[in-house]
Structure 1
Amino acid sequence: MLQITELSKTLGSFALKGVSLSIADGEYFIILGPTGAGKTILLETIAGIHAPDAGSITMDGHEISRMEPKERGVGMVYQDYMLFPHLTVEENIGFGLKQRSIDPAAIRKQVGEAAEMLGIGHLLERYPGTLSGGEQQRAAIARALVIKPRILLLDEPLSALDVTTRERLRRELVLIHRRTKITIIHITHHFEDLFALAERAAVMQNGTVVQVGTPEEIFKRPHTEFIANFTGMENLIRGISTVHDTEASIDLGRITVTALTDIEGEVVVGIRPEEVIISAGPIASGARNSYRGVITDIRPNGMFSWVTIDIGEPLTGVLTPQSLATMNLAVGENVYATFKASAVHVFAA
């Protein structure tokens, strides 16, 4: 439905470099990356705010790279809402329809339907300054949807919201997508948004796309150390890899781990905390890596705790408070840390 091919754009000292993406009709697609990765510039180039220096954008097989923004069939929502403060919520939502000279009665009907879908039908006579952040964001989304765009572009729509409102709006975005079947491109630096919303995603770094895949592929099989670190792998350790047939022994200095990789030489090893089994004693397991160590830190974090163990290298795993209490674990206690060879991600250094 949307094809981006070798797209490049330089703005000041920053440049998008050869970005290529294919996005399916009706897909919820997330573009993930840190601040400064180029996500917003890419989104604004799709919307027509910037003209590309090179490359092309096609929608439904038609080249749109040089079209005016209003001709592209694109709706865009920014993280700071960009509502007109002097207009009511109803007038804000209907602004795009009014610009198109739609009949006032039809505007009222369509605005009412969009507002009800977003749960703000009771706020139509209010002004943006009297709304909460979540209510303002719903009004901004309604304004973008009411024009019935082919693509909805969301620029960090949840970043300015508190945790509770962010989670509620995530659920509402899922329902909106399910109901409208609209193609959505959503940029974010919160990797938690991947599993809540995305069917597929792209990770950006320094103006380029470094991985495209399902949330599970990006989370469990990151292509680079940067992606592993950005998606919370936590345990990243440098070492030397020696390959034997289908597996490798990786010398991390004070310990050696077994991994399923064909990468040799200087590497970075990554192990997700949730892949580490922490036990008070040795366990019967087919896992190739098991080490005795001492707990050096326990960091409570709501429903679970981060537990750091010195096994020759610091290794962090996760346990529920109930597991900590059942095993009577505390800083200074000896434990075992166990993980499979398949849980060891290996990146060339």
Structure 2
Amino acid sequence: MFSITINTRDRRPLLGFIRNGEFYPSKVGQAVAECWRKIPEYYPQAELIIHQVMPEHFHGLLRLNPKNPNARIVGKSPAHLGRIVGGFMIGSTHAYWNVLGIDWKAYTWSKAQRKEPFHLGVEHKESTQGPALFERGYNDVVPISDEQIDTKIRYIATNVERRQMKRDNSDFFAITRNAKSANWTVERIKQGLLADRFIGKDAASVAQAWQKIASMLNLSTEGTPNIDWLGNKSLLTATTKVSVICHRADVLLFEQQKAKTIEAAKNGAIVVSACINPKEREIVKALQAELLPVIKVADNGFDTLYKPSGKAFYTCAEGALTEITPWKHRTVSKDDEQTLSREMCLTANELVRIVAQCPDTWWK
């Protein structure tokens, strides 16, 4: 099973527009959808699950069955995903040229040119026949579990709805860059490192830990730490906040901590957490299920197109979420996605304490 995402060139809205929660495809968008539906005619091993055309990108979910007796063979093996998606992109681009009135069929290719069907330049903007419809390449994800597949189907099916929600609540999805906090200082971060029983054992360990963290933090040119954030600003300025930091020493008291936190949120407190360990994430998940307000300290910086995903998207649109990050954005591989260093965890929790302005044990 593969989830495919393809962006239009320069993310131009060539495929349609959204109005009042409905997607209206352009002629090109209609042609792209038709090209997708025709994939099994050319590659019978491809089973199409769901797709969604968006103004500037395309989502599709498909399953490959190479054992299909009618599978199209390329060389000695059934056509692979890259060839199938490449054929879809070529067909869609030809349809785009048809809309533009380009007589691409009249063009005669040499044998050398046939090896590179688009003949696109270095920036993949235009060929000898016409402009490119899509950006070079595509993103593909292989969902493994049934839950992951269901999640992808829901994501694709609700793409238009989420886009409309983002547009209607644009203030909640706008990223504020390089904000300052009087309490968020280099000295305070080092205090958090010093308080750790391992890193804080000597000055050299603290200095080494700071050097590691400093390269990841969003620091100004003067060396002061910045914070990026998005969501409901009123959560940050709320009078009453409580932290969720789960310690191993309190593992037997977790249900008490969870109950006290939910009770506090229902009574108007804003919950602040870095969601580092499973227990913290469990509490935040329970809060978001009831649309209770949360400030989350993210474990990565925000890239230009960042927005919360999954249920967090909806809680953000409802004004029940603010995400803040002290980090520069970094590209994270799938293998490293769940790995946070001890120094990162300590720094994130120190920011939780600064925002919440309450002790970790407030709930006892």
TM-score range, shorter chain: under 0.3
* TM-score w.r.t. length of structure 1: 0.27
* TM-score w.r.t. length of structure 2: 0.26
Structure 1 or 2: larger helix share?
2
Structure 1 or 2: larger strand share?
1
